[in-house]
Amino acid sequence: MNHIEVNHINKKYEQFQLNNVSFTVPAGCIVGFIGENGAGKTTTIKSILNCIMIDQGEIKLFGKPISNEIKEEIGVVFDQNFFYEGLSAKDIDLILKNTYKNWDSQLFYHYCTDWELPVNRAMKQLSKGMKMKVSIAAALAHHPKLLILDEATSGLDPISRNDILDIFLDFIQDEDHSIFFSSHITSDLEKIADRIIFIHKGKILFEKDKDELKDNYGVLKTQNEEILKDAHKLRQMRHTFGCEYLIDNRQQIHQAYPEAVCDPISIDDLMVFYVKGDELA
Amino acid sequence: MKGLVLKDIITLKSYGKSLLLIFALFLFLGLSSGSPLSGAMMVMPISIMAAFVTFSYDKLSNWDCYACTMPIKRNEIVIARYFVTIILSLLFFAASLLSYLFTAVIMQNFSEVYLLIPSYSVLFGFIMILISLILVLNYKFGPDKARIALILIFILPSILTALITQSDVSIALISESTIMLFCMLMPMLGIAALLLSYLMAAKIYQHKEF
Residues of A in contact with B68 (CB under 8 A): 49-51
Q: Determine the pLDDT at residue B3.
A: 92
The whole-angstrom distance between B148's CA and the closest CA on chain A is: 24
Instruction: Tell whether the model's pLDDT for residue B41 goes beyond 80.
Output: no
pLDDT at B68: 93
CA distance A187 to A222: 27
- B133/chain A closest Cα distance in angstroms: 25
Mutate to test the interface with B, among A49, A84, A121 (most CBs of B within 10 A): A84
Q: How far apart are CA A237 and CA A252, in angstroms?
A: 21
Range of weakest confidence among A24-28, A65-69, B121-125, B189-193: B121-125
Q: What's the rounded mean pLDDT across residues A114-118?
A: 90
Percent of chain B with pLDDT over 90: 30
Q: CA nearest A201: which of A48, A56, A11, A40?
A: A40
Q: Give yes or no for residue B208 having a pLDDT over 80.
A: yes
Sign of the alpha-carbon dihedral angle for A208, A209, A211, A212: negative
In this prediction, residue B43 carries a pLDDT of: 66
On average, the pLDDT of chain B sits at 83
Tens digits of residue pLDDT in B61-100: 889 999 999 999 999 999 999 999 988 888 888 888 887 7
Which chain B residues are within 8 Å of A100, Cβ to Cβ? 70-71
What percent of chain A has pLDDT above 70?
A: 100
Angle ∠(B88,B207,B144) on CA atoms, nearest 5: 50
pLDDT at B36: 65
CB contact under 8 A, A100 and B71: yes
Binning pLDDT at 50, 70 and 90, where does residue A281 land? low
Instruction: Name the strand (E) or helix (H) holding B113.
Output: none
Q: Which chain A residue lies closest to B208 (C-alpha atoms)?
A: A52
Select the residue of A80, A81, A98 nearest B6 (Cβ to Cβ): A98
pLDDT greater than 80 at residue B33: no
Q: Is A272 an interface residue toward B (CB < 8 Å)?
A: no
Which of A 70-109 lie inside 8 A of B, CB atoms? 71-72, 74, 76, 78, 80-87, 91, 94-101
Q: What is the pLDDT of residue B115?
A: 78
Nearest chain B CA: its distance from A96 CA (Å)? 6
- The neighbouring-strand residues paired with A262 are A220
Quick check: B167 pLDDT over 90?
no
pLDDT at B187 over 70: yes
Q: What is the pTM of this model?
A: 0.86
**Closest CB from A49, A52, A84 relative to B69:** A49
Residue B117, min C-alpha distance to chain A (Å): 39
Of A52, A68, A95, the CB nearest to B6: A95
Measured in angstroms, the CA of A263 and the nearest CA of chain B are apart by 42
Per residue in A136-158, pLDDT (tens digit) is 999 999 999 999 999 888 778 88
Convert the pLDDT of each residue in A187-229 to its tens digit.
889 889 999 999 999 999 989 999 999 889 999 988 888 888 8
Cα distance between residue B81 and residue A186, in whole Å = 40
Average pLDDT of chain A, as a whole number: 91
The predicted pLDDT at position B169 comes to 60
Q: Is the pLDDT of residue A53 over 80?
A: yes
* Residues of chain A contacting residue B72, judged by C-beta atoms under 8 Å apart: 68, 99
**Among A68, A113, A72, CA closest to A90:** A113
Provide residues of B within 8 Å CB-CB of chain A: 2-4, 6-7, 10-11, 14, 57-58, 60-63, 65-66, 68-73, 207, 209-210
The contacts of residue A238 (CB under 8 Å, 6+ apart) are A278
